[in-house]
């Protein structure tokens, strides 16, 4: 699978497409990497009143071009923010209902939007021990989610090896029944397209293809049977303005290589 | 794990909580931490990591510490690789997202040589907070339905006695000792923290002993001119160690940013050969130098100055 | 009383939480508070009382507010006597210990004209904190065995699921609106508070709407130069009103102390004849003046200057 | 009953006698009025390393002579303190076990050291509605207590009308059984003498008489049968040095009239 074109990298595509999903006035809790970059991009381009929060405790962040932090717990995140809070307290803002969108990357996702960032293989004898949840579980449990990730068959699986961050669990009402009465997966953005979740079954559903990508291509790169929205959209390719702004933010290609 | 309340209070009562000077050396402070102790580590990822104290504990040959930290970077790798800890409780463990998945963490956990006990970030925070509040648990609304909670027998899922809603209860975590690095404190341990406080305020109050390292020891008079800037009270503090660049190669808000070149080189060395790479690193940077100053000299003045230049910029707005 | 979680979140989602200017007049802000609303009042006793806002609500003829405050001084007497509130939740209610037991509080509660609902101080604080955290309750270890809890059907005594110990659970309190007076905030509502914060941080996050009065509106740039000094985030704030001496005749830390002469005269007037004394006071100081400035003029420049001289002294250490 | 002598007032006696009970190095949570005054006096006289906390959120307070605050929630309490905290957090220090002594005044006390500051008479139809607990209930529930109050028969009753702040409840093990496994009444200081609590029954016990006061006088002014300690002490009268220091602290007789 290759979506890298002469014009932009897959990561750039992810950042631009996810940035477009954010609306002015929203309050967005963003993880490090593409989410931080995309939220900052949205803020610079079409959503100046977007409020960005970071897990490190930053409320109303303003990231400086070329000074992207290596995690959301660095002083670079806090510079010229509106407020800094303790880590627990910033996560409690999610629990109190202050956040519109949680926005993060994913290592492995399944048809119900459950994310795994803990174990590949049997958790007791893992093939790979991944870095873990961080605030991911909290964010995914407590608010509407956008996930940005590269589209690979091994990452889009029928059932994740381990539910680190809950999507719709086993679908239908199971999330609510587990005690998670708010939030849930809203969109998954990949380098192939954009995905929602069918209302009743809560199964992943292709809602938009990126320009030049076919439904077959997406299905081929997905480890479970995809639902396809009745009205399937085609996204506009990243504009020059978007890419220019993005590259201005991340000139060292820290997150967009 | 959840302590009996009378026992918890007894341990606190036994401490000398009076206003007294408690300045000591890194080595003296390290002697306050016993093998097998539970240790709460302040800061998060690359920020305000109490690196000097961790460095001193590894040098002192401490073994089998149970460590808990909000988010763990390469200090966790050094704790595992040195044998100082074989059990780390945290929400995320890798050097940092830009350096990929930690090869040391993988090496130790996948082979069963050490344990990475994973809780959600908020759960770690609320466990410290419960400990700080002197209550046995706090309720929360995440971790439900996920596989994380399934691997944690210490959690309880309840029906709320007020609303009937499902709630997750997480137990208090009261470490034997907390290691916290701050920008400044006085000789009594009244600490001021600039920038992101992470979980350090709760951690300090939860722990049964607190060791502060500080970029600078200031006068009690300075503290008392702005008592609303004090974040950790002297009562909770048992040791004060002045350790300039005490978080290096990590950062200390408003004073210095991380030493990225050093961290990149470290990551490359680990990538080439995790086991040998970390051994050589420990030899050169932890066991090798005679003092913290000599360690800083190995990091290199040029890199420290550059880190400081980048770090101080936040005061110039 | 304990809100359904989905409903609580829905009310928050409905609010415009974006970074936007929200400066308005006292009267405009008063219009945001409906009759019968539940109102959390910031500050404590004589400190950072949101007096200007209470003054505006009484003038606006607001009725039957359910008010909650950590410790209540004579602002509670004015709320009762004006009919703005007939139900006050607090831990202590009198003008202040030096003025003896409140004659107005006695008059209204002993005759059943109004209710003083008594919780322990920590319970009030933990109820706001539970509200701020988005959980339905918090556990605590006081109020057990006392008669206070017996009069509060909303408490629950449980056996801890971790330790078996008895614990008191207190329910979240999420007021419809919080009134908080601060030293400074920007036009978006990013607020800095100097000195004693009382329960204001939890109260602000617990409430479904926050009205800030402030001694001074500062630039967002000033806030962003020291984001670790922000105590209440703009997201939580719905109205910003600049009200110099907005706590007078009470105090505002670092700016002015209480107007003791005024408070002594008030107390004497109440002592002579509670009903008539407070009526005359309301007439003269609340209903009489045309504006907050005219009210301050009635307090008198000499006394305000003296209060300010005493208050500013803390910066001179 | 009169204990006002030419030398000192009853309040001054209370302040001096309670101050003497405090030891250097202790951490004391003090209420407004005589407790605040006595703790400050102890700090000036014999316990320079005494740490004073106030309910308003003050840790390590230093009160200035002549500038006593009208409550423990005023900025005067915070001036030159070591730390200020939120009200809830300072009370949580009690719950976390940081405090050696809680120290407050009382309106009405009973033989088990229960304090009433809420209602005189039937709480549903009170003769007098008192100002209430403030932090009193929390302090008395969570730490060892010293109470300073004037000794009058109507204030020393067999059973308080209302338990605002728990002493030993109905005596013996009842406090522990109610869930209060730490703390309890340590000393009651009045203008007649000093009282402890008998170890098993937890009934109030006279342990020291002030100079010139007889056991009979104390019993006459007490509404229940007092236990008398086997070795009854006689206190030293307030010294000139103590009274001078006290009057220096409270020249306006705000709390010592």
Q: Is residue D56 part of a domain?
A: yes
Q: Is residue A140 part of a domain?
A: yes
Give per-residue pLDDT as tens, B43-75.
999 999 999 999 999 999 999 999 999 999 999
Distance CA D126, CA C111 (A): 9
Give per-residue pLDDT as tens, C188-222.
999 999 999 999 999 999 999 999 999 999 999 99
pLDDT of residue A3: 45
Peptide bond into B244 cis (omega under 30): no
Q: Is the pLDDT of residue B128 over 50?
A: yes
Q: What is the dihedral of CA B170, A91, C1, C206, to 10 degrees?
A: 140
Beta bridge partners of C139: C169
Distance CA B223, CA B84 (A): 35
Q: Residue A147: what are its φ and ψ, rounded to 5°?
A: -120, 130
Q: Is the pLDDT of residue C17 over 70?
A: yes
Contact with chain B for residue C164, Cβ under 8 A: no
Mean pLDDT of chain C: 96
Instruction: Specify the DSSP class assigned to residue B168.
Output: E
pLDDT of residue D3: 45
Contact predicate D220/D43, CB 8 Å: no
pLDDT of residue C317: 63
pLDDT of residue C314: 53
SS3 B140: strand
pLDDT average, residue stretch B25-37:
98
Peptide bond into C249 cis (omega under 30): yes
Give per-residue pLDDT as tens, B70-121.
999 999 999 999 999 999 999 999 999 889 999 999 999 999 999 999 999 9
pLDDT average, residue stretch C86-104:
95
User: Which residue has tokens 């005067």?
Assistant: D76
SS3 A244: helix
Instruction: Specify the DSSP class assigned to residue C2.
Output: P
Distance CA A213, CA B280 (A): 48
Beta bridge partners of B166: B159
Instruction: Specify the DSSP class assigned to residue C283.
Output: I
ipTM above 0.90, yes or no: yes
Here the tokens at position C80 are: 């009762």
Contact predicate B85/B64, CB 8 Å: yes
Q: How far is CA B274 from CA A180, B42, B103, B112, B269, in A?
A: 40, 26, 6, 16, 7
pLDDT of residue D72: 84
Nearest-5° Cα angle at D182, D176 to D185:
85
Contact state of D134 with C144 under an 8 Å Cβ cutoff: no
Distance CA C202, CA B156 (A): 26
Q: Is residue A253 part of a domain?
A: no
Distance CA C25, CA C56 (A): 10
What are the residues whose beta carbons fall under 8 Å from the beta carbon of C149, sequence distance 6 or more?
Answer: C143, C155, C157, C168
Contact state of C121 with D134 under an 8 Å Cβ cutoff: yes
Here the tokens at position D212 are: 């010139």
CA distance D86 to chain B (A): 10
Contact predicate C249/C259, CB 8 Å: yes
Contact predicate A169/A114, CB 8 Å: yes
Instruction: Specify the DSSP class assigned to residue D225.
Output: P
CB nearest to D75's CB, from C141, C166, C314: C314
pLDDT average, residue stretch B139-154:
97
Which residues belong to CATH 3.40.1080.10 in chain B? 5-136+174-315
Task: List chain B residues with CB under 8 Å of D82.
Answer: 19, 188, 190, 220, 223-224, 227, 230, 233-234
Global pTM value: 0.97
Q: Mind listing the pLDDT tens digit of every residue in chain D (257 residues)?
A: 344 455 899 999 999 999 999 999 999 999 988 999 999 999 999 999 999 999 999 999 888 888 888 788 888 888 889 999 999 999 999 999 999 999 999 999 999 999 999 999 999 999 999 999 999 999 999 999 999 999 999 999 999 999 999 999 999 999 999 999 999 999 999 999 999 999 999 999 999 999 999 999 999 999 999 999 999 999 999 999 999 999 999 998 888 87
Q: Residue D64: what are its φ and ψ, rounded to 5°?
A: -85, 140
Q: From the CB of residue B126, how many other CB atoms can be counted at a distance below 10 Å?
A: 31
pLDDT average, residue stretch C130-136:
98
* Helix, strand, coil distribution of chain A in percent, nearest 5: 25, 25, 50
pLDDT of residue B159: 97
CATH number of the domain bearing residue A141: 3.40.1080.10
Contact state of B317 with A180 under an 8 Å Cβ cutoff: no
Q: Is residue D5 part of a domain?
A: no
Here the tokens at position C123 are: 């319970």
A156-157/C65-69 β-pairing: unpaired
Contact with chain A for residue B19, Cβ under 8 A: no
Contact state of C236 with A98 under an 8 Å Cβ cutoff: yes
Beta bridge partners of B115: B87
Please give the residue range of the domain that contains residue D23. 10-248
Structurally, chain D folds into a number of domains equal to 1
Here the tokens at position A100 are: 């519109």
Neighbour-count burial of D217, counting CB atoms closer than 10 A to its CB (0-12 exposed, 13-18 middle, 19+ buried): middle
Give per-residue pLDDT as tens, C220-272.
999 999 899 999 999 999 999 999 999 999 999 999 999 999 999 999 999 99
Helix axes D10-21, D34-45, angle to 10 degrees: 50
Instruction: Specify the DSSP class assigned to residue B170.
Output: E
Residue of D nearest to C125 (CA): D88
Q: Is the pLDDT of residue A30 over 70?
A: yes
Beta bridge partners of C138: C170
pLDDT of residue C258: 96
Contact predicate D155/D109, CB 8 Å: yes
Q: Which residues of D are catalytic?
A: 55
User: Which residue has tokens 């961790």?
Assistant: B54
Q: Is residue A134 part of a domain?
A: yes
User: Which residue has tokens 């009310």?
Assistant: C11
Peptide bond into C306 cis (omega under 30): no
Distance CA C90, CA C119 (A): 6
Here the tokens at position A213 are: 């990508």
Mean pLDDT of chain B: 96
Among B residues 65-84, those touching chain A with beta carbons less than 8 Å apart: 70-71
Residue A196 C-alpha from the chain's centroid = 12
Plot region of B164 (φ>0 → left; ψ -120 to 50 → alpha; else → beta): left
Q: What is the dihedral of CA C96, C97, C103, C104, to 10 degrees?
A: 20
CATH superfamily of C5-136+174-315: Glutaconate Coenzyme A-transferase (3.40.1080.10)
Distance CA D116, CA D136 (A): 10
Give per-residue pLDDT as tens, A55-100.
999 999 888 888 888 788 888 888 889 999 999 999 999 999 999 9
* Residue A55 is a catalytic residue: yes
Q: Residue A87: what are its φ and ψ, rounded to 5°?
A: -60, -45
Here the tokens at position C66 are: 């359910």
Here the tokens at position B266 are: 């470290």
**Which runs of consecutive H residues, i.e. helices, occur in chain A?**
10-21, 34-45, 75-78, 87-95, 136-142, 174-177, 215-220, 240-249
Beta bridge partners of D148: D105, D189
- pLDDT classification of C98: cutoffs 50, 70, 90: confident
CA distance B19 to chain C (A): 21
SS3 A232: strand
CA distance B166 to chain A (A): 5
CA distance D104 to chain B (A): 21
Strands (E), chain C: 38-41, 65-69, 85-90, 115-118, 137-140, 156-159, 166-171, 177-186, 191-192, 210-218, 230-232, 239-242
Distance CA C69, CA C90 (A): 5
Q: Is the pLDDT of residue A4 over 60?
A: no
Among B residues 177-216, those touching chain C with beta carbons less than 8 Å apart: 194-197
Contact predicate B231/B192, CB 8 Å: yes
CB nearest to A131's CB, from B44, B92, B147: B92
Contact predicate D211/D171, CB 8 Å: no
Q: Is the pLDDT of residue A256 over 90?
A: no
Using the Cα atoms of residue D120, residue D122, residue D128 and residue D131 in order, give the sign of their dihedral.
Answer: positive
Task: List chain A residues with CB under 8 Å of C9.
Answer: 96-97, 182
Contact predicate C213/C245, CB 8 Å: no
Here the tokens at position C238 are: 């719905």
Which entry of A55, A177, A198, A242 is annotated as an active-site residue?
Answer: A55
Contact state of C18 with A26 under an 8 Å Cβ cutoff: yes
CA-nearest of C302, C306, C282 to C83 is C282
Distance CA C242, CA C213 (A): 6
């Amino acid at each position: 699978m290759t979506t890298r074109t002469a014009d932009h990298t897959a990561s750039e595509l992810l950042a631009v497409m996810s940035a477009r999903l954010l609306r002015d006035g929203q309050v967005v809790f963003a993880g490090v990497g593409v989410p931080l970059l995309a939220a900052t991009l949205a803020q610079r381009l079409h959503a100046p009143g977007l409020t960005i929060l970071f897990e490190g405790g930053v409320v109303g962040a303003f990231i400086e071009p070329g000074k992207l932090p290596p995690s959301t717990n660095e002083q670079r995140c806090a510079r010229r923010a509106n407020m800094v809070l303790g880590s627990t307290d910033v996560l409690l803002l999610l629990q109190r209902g202050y956040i519109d969108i949680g926005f993060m990357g994913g290592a492995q996702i399944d048809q119900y939007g459950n994310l795994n960032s803990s174990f590949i293989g049997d958790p007791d004898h893992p093939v790979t021990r991944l870095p873990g949840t961080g605030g991911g579980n909290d964010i995914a449990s407590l608010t509407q989610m956008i996930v940005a990730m590269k589209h690979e068959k091994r990452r889009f699986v029928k059932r994740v090896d381990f539910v680190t961050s809950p999507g719709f669990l086993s679908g239908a009402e199971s999330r609510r029944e587990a005690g998670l009465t708010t939030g849930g997966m809203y969109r998954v953005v990949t380098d192939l397209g954009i995905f929602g979740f069918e209302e009743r079954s809560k199964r992943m559903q292709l809602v938009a293809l990126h320009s030049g990508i076919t439904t077959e291509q997406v299905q081929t790169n997905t480890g479970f049977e995809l639902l396809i929205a009745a009205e399937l959209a085609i996204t506009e390719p990243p504009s020059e303005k978007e890419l220019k702004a993005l590259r201005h933010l991340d000139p060292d290609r820290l997150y967009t290589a | 794990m959840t302590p009996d309340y009378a026992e918890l209070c007894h341990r606190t009562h036994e401490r000398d909580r009076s206003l007294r000077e408690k300045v000591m050396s890194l080595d003296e402070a390290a002697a306050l931490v016993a093998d097998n102790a539970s240790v709460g580590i302040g800061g998060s990822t690359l920020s305000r990591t109490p690196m000097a104290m961790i460095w001193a504990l590894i040098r002192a040959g401490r073994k089998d510490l149970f460590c808990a930290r909000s988010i763990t970077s390469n200090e966790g790798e050094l704790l595992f690789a040195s044998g100082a800890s074989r059990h780390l409780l945290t929400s995320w463990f890798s050097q940092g997202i830009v350096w990929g998945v930690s090869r040391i963490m993988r090496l130790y956990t996948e082979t069963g040589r050490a344990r990475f006990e994973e809780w959600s970030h908020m759960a770690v925070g609320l466990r410290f907070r419960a400990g700080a509040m002197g209550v046995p648990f706090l309720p929360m609304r995440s971790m439900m339905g996920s596989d994380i909670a399934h691997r944690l027998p210490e959690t309880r899922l309840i029906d709320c006695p007020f609303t009937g809603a499902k709630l997750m209860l997480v137990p208090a975590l009261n470490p034997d000792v907390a290691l916290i690095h701050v920008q400044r404190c006085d000789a009594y341990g009244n600490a001021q923290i600039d920038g992101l406080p992470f979980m350090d305020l709760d951690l300090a109050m939860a722990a049964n002993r607190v060791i502060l390292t500080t970029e600078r020891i200031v006068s009690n008079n300075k503290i008392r001119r702005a008592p609303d800037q004090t974040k950790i009270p002297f009562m909770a503090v048992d040791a004060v160690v002045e350790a300039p660049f005490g978080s290096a190669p990590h950062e200390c808000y408003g004073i210095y940013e991380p030493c990225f070149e050093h961290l990149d080189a470290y990551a490359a060395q680990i990538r080439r050969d995790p086991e040998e790479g970390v051994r050589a690193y420990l030899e050169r940077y932890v066991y090798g130098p005679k003092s913290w100053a000599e360690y800083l000299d190995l990091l290199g003045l040029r890199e420290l100055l550059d880190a400081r230049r980048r770090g101080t910029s936040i005061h110039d707005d």
